Amino acid sequence: MPHLVYLTAGAAGMFCGSCMHDNALAKAIQAAGHWDVTLVPTYTPIRTDEENVSVDQVFFGGINVYLQQKMPFLRWLPDFMDRWLDRPALIRRLTAKASDTSPKLLGQLAVSMLKGRNGNQRKEVIRLIKWLKQEAKPDAIILTNVLIGGCVKDLQRELRVPVLATLQGDDAFLDTLPPPYAKQATELAGQVANDCDGLLVHSENYATYMSKYLNVPRSKMHLMRLGIDIDPWRNFSTKANLDRPLVLGYLARLAPEKGVHRLIDAYLGLKKQTEFRDLQLRVAGWLGEHRRDWFLSHWNKIAAAGFASDAQYETDVDRAGKLQFLSEIDLLCVPTQHVEPKGLFVLEALAAGVPVVVPAIGAFPELLASTNGGRLCLPDPSTPATITAHLEVSPAPTNLEQTLRELLLDRDQLRELGQKGQTGVFTKHSAACMAHETTELLNRFL
């Protein structure tokens, strides 16, 4: 049986969409029985809201990478010290409440990591290759993104196996880096992407966007449908069939790029209208300390308008909390302001029979075309034209508040969209479907 090593990336204790995607895919490939899979964390151990199938080992450990970047003399630490610093338990403890890292240091780290053996983390590259050659012995390697791929050429040369990478938000990180690191890192990421044997994407729109962003031939990208483990959602019935007040929900990271502030403003606009005086708002998602003041500055608008009793939020929601949350809302809206590469929250809501409203950018138009489980709205006016220029959506979407209004006034339509979306996810977007397409591609490379 061929062996796949999937290098994922932890997010310092945060529930991370990429971690959950990688974990679900590795689990489904293993369950299918045609490939053996080893899911290997980098930076930090991963955190998922389902069974974690990753190994208890970390490469490019976040503490070690940071120290080697910050203090040059530590690049010559003996192996036993590196092993101590890369212990998952130690990394977990020290990064559980990690504060925001300076943009300058992030830029320096990104550029160094993308240089591979020519960067400051050369020892980590050598250690990874040694482990892969002597212990893992893969027949193929998939990287969770190109940002950890500075060693692609070394992997290909030393192991003589195909190396692929998933594009799932590399651009969102690169866009946050300050000059001159953003330009340097983006150019290096483009070189890594071109070095890879193939690139996995979850939508045609995102593939087109990233082809231009990284200057990579479109032919190098392979479309893999996005999927989730559907077993936890099978007992959900569709919503919007009760006489209680309707509940509008948001389930994603509480950050500007996810647009929670846009939803708060739209909610306040609706609450001023007679038809929506009883409308409630539920918000859930991971909130970083460096975003807390920003989020509260927007959330407090609700209390200032006199609607505090109709709205509530919670952070760091686990699987049980997510299931409970989705059982209590009638419509999910995550009005992102960046090119969404996946949209796992769309599939999770639809699997629970909850229709969605999302902007007509990134992966969303194709997800809704595939599932028929929601409506597209116009992106925020501040969204760069380069993000929306390549999209043609029919029928033409309306603005966020208007789209929400039209759906919330029609409970029958909410119920119908929820039913269609649930069926669409169960039949087309299971983790098993995603695993099948991925292994078929790997077989072609072998």
Predicted confidence (pLDDT) per residue in 300-347, tens digit: 999 999 999 999 999 888 888 999 999 999 999 999 998 899 999 999
User: How many C-beta atoms lie closer than 10 Å to residue 308's C-beta?
Assistant: 12
Consecutive H or E run containing 356: strand 356-359
Which residues in 129-275 belong to E strands, given as ranges? 140-143, 163-166, 198-201, 221-223, 247-251
- Single-letter residue type at 359: P
Mean pLDDT of 74-99: 54
Nearest to 281 by CA among 350, 333, 343: 333
pLDDT at 282: 98
Cα gap 68→154, rounded to integer Å: 20
pLDDT-above-70 percentage for the chain:
85
Nearest to 107 by CA among 177, 57, 175, 212: 177
Tens digit of pLDDT for each residue in 109-162?
Answer: 889 889 999 887 888 888 899 999 999 999 999 999 999 999 999 999 999 999
309 and 256 together in one domain: yes
pLDDT at 59: 84
pLDDT at 186: 97
268 and 388 together in one domain: yes
Q: Which two tokens stand for residue 352?
A: 């629970």
Buried b (16+ CB within 10 A) or exposed e, 111-130: bbbbbbeebbbbbbbebbbe
- Write down the pTM of the prediction: 0.90
Cα gap 3→352, rounded to integer Å: 34
Q: What CATH number is attached to the domain comprising 126?
A: 3.40.50.2000
Buried b (16+ CB within 10 A) or exposed e, 60-89: bbbbbbbbbbeeeebeebeeeebeebbbbe
pLDDT at 90: 46
Q: What is the CA radius of gyration of the chain?
A: 22
- Single-letter residue type at 158: E
Q: Which two tokens stand for residue 411?
A: 């409970």
Q: Return the SS3 of 91.
A: helix
223 and 247 together in one domain: no
Q: pLDDT band for 107, please (50, 70, 90 cuts).
A: confident
296 and 419 together in one domain: yes
Cα gap 43→70, rounded to integer Å: 16
Tens digit of pLDDT for each residue in 356-391?
Answer: 999 999 999 999 999 999 999 999 877 665 555 445
83 and 173 together in one domain: yes
Cα gap 188→194, rounded to integer Å: 10
Cα gap 342→204, rounded to integer Å: 11
302 and 334 together in one domain: yes
Domain that holds residue 104: 3-228+432-445
pLDDT at 4: 98
In the beta sheet, which residues pair with residue 41?
8
Tens digit of pLDDT for each residue in 34-77?
Answer: 999 999 998 888 888 888 999 988 888 655 566 555 555 455 55
Spatial CB neighbours of 195, under 8 Å, sequence gap ≥ 6:
149, 152, 153, 156
> Of residues 102 and 389, which shows the higher confidence score?
102
70 and 26 together in one domain: yes
416 and 439 together in one domain: no
199 and 78 together in one domain: yes
Transcribe 399-423 into DSSP letters. -HHHHHHHHHT-HHHHHHHHHHHHH
Cα gap 160→418, rounded to integer Å: 47
- Give me the residue label for tokens 């500075």: 150
Mean of the per-residue pLDDT values for the chain?
Answer: 88
Cα gap 23→21, rounded to integer Å: 6
How many angstroms separate the first and last alpha carbons of the chain? 12
Look at residue 192 and tell me whether its pLDDT is greater than 60: yes
pLDDT at 389: 47
181 and 284 together in one domain: no
98 and 66 together in one domain: yes
Residue 321, Cα to own-chain centre: how many angstroms?
19
pLDDT at 280: 97
Cα gap 198→438, rounded to integer Å: 12
Cα angle vertex 425, ends 237, 428, to 5°?
145
160 and 241 together in one domain: no
Number of domains within the chain: 2
Cα gap 115→138, rounded to integer Å: 23
Asked if 345 contacts 284 with a C-beta cutoff of 8 angstroms, the reply is no
Cα dihedral 298, 303, 306, 308 sign: positive
